[in-house]
Amino acid sequence: MEYRLLSENRKGIIIKEVEMDLLKMIFNQRIVTSEQIGYWLGLKSKNEFANLRRRLTKFTAYRLLVRNKYPLVDGIFFYYYRIGSKGISILKELGLITPEESSYSTYKRIGQPAHMDHLLATQQVVIQVVKDMEQAKVESHYPYDSLFLRNKDDNKPFLVPDWVLSCQKKNVYIELDTGTERMSDIEHKMSRYYEWASMNPDQVHNVFFISLDESFRTTKFYGDRRRRIGNLRKGILDTEEGKKVPQNLNVYSVALKRASKIIQKVLRGEIPLQIDSKKHRLRTGLDVLIDMNNCFPYQFTEVGEEAYYKPSAPSSLRLDLIYDVFREGVYVETVGMMYLEEGLVSTLRILDYANVQVEERLDLKKPIHRIIGIYETSLESQHDVLGIEYSNLLIADHETWDKDYESQPTFYKQTSSANIVEVTYDH
């Protein structure tokens, strides 16, 4: 499908089918940068981006799009775009949007929002997810287009995320964080999410608090966001106190540069893992390490949790696996092992409980001396921020172990709630 648009001087422009899809995307996303448009189109080379810029300039001249400049520093800038009046008219004419959607004044107001970096950074994540998962047909929703109401008679939205993504009864609610919201505001938001998940038990609800970082350039310098990511994660955990957290609600705190990949795993149903999958990965990773790395002098013997936990220990807070550790046949210690998933707040709930048990043994028959938290990849172990320092925790990841079987396996120890340092198992 092509569309020929004539101007007053009878010169025209032919809009190709892929460009019509592009106009529909920009209409749906409200506002996007030229770089985000290039990502959505799958462009790679400088020449392709140069051609895109020329095409977007022509679209602007024909009022298909409206272009604005976002200034950075020293005369550097980039362009961002919203749908133009003619673009809305054509989409409506071709039946690609409904008459109810076609109010141009609504989109005109979006062109100059007070917090442009907030909105554009949100689209950075959304565009990446929608493009990378285009075969899965992820739905992308501006929150005011599908209002979250307690009941149909309400006039005021009960819940307003920054953006919503959905796929096969899995919803992702994006909350972009620039560091200005107080924890009392976060607590208020979380109380709404707890209620919303309880009201809609047939769906899985995933809330992503995404901290804006250096991966998206803005007029402000956000710097290292590790501490903020960790504080958010701990603060969200604190909001759970005294509340019944719905089983169909998962909450994450991650950096912008990591958000897209993690959200895609969530929408594909790859995470969060069920307990059997966690145990399988932990056992497999440890077996490979013991078999392949002759420099690691320890043997691990799995023991049943009933030998260590009292009946009073909540099953949902128990460590995934427990091992007795030996060296040359001599017992050394007992460790609890846990599979860690980047950004997932519920991880802290289990680590908190496990750390207390190591130190105070309230619900243990016999002592567990240390906790070993295992990630799947090195990116996860390096980028995740727990937000709480656990003195009895060793951290590792399967990917780093698999890269080098000729030396002692790499572990990490927290030096603060936001930072880790490399150590050995003997540390």
Report strand pairing: 204-211 vs 249-255: parallel
Q: Could you report the per-residue pLDDT of 357-379, keeping only the tens digit for each? A: 999 999 999 999 999 999 999 99
Measured CA angle at 216 (ends 215, 222), to 5 deg: 85
| Residue 337 to residue 295: CA distance in whole angstroms | 21
| Residue 25 to residue 84: CA distance in whole angstroms | 13
Q: Could you report the per-residue pLDDT of 338-353, keeping only the tens digit for each? A: 999 999 999 999 999 9
The third-level CATH classification (topology) of the domain covering 1-112 is Arc Repressor Mutant, subunit A (1.10.10)
Residue 4, SS3? Answer: strand
Token duo for residue 148: 């979250």
Q: What is the mean pLDDT of the chain?
A: 92
* pTM of this prediction exceeds 0.85: yes
DSSP state for residue 16 in the 8-state scheme: P
| Residue 34 to residue 124: CA distance in whole angstroms | 11
Q: Which residues contact 419 (CB under 8 A, 6 or more apart)?
A: 226
Architecture of the domain made up of 113-270:
3-Layer(aba) Sandwich (3.40)
pLDDT on residue 157: 79
Report percent pLDDT > 90 for the chain: 80
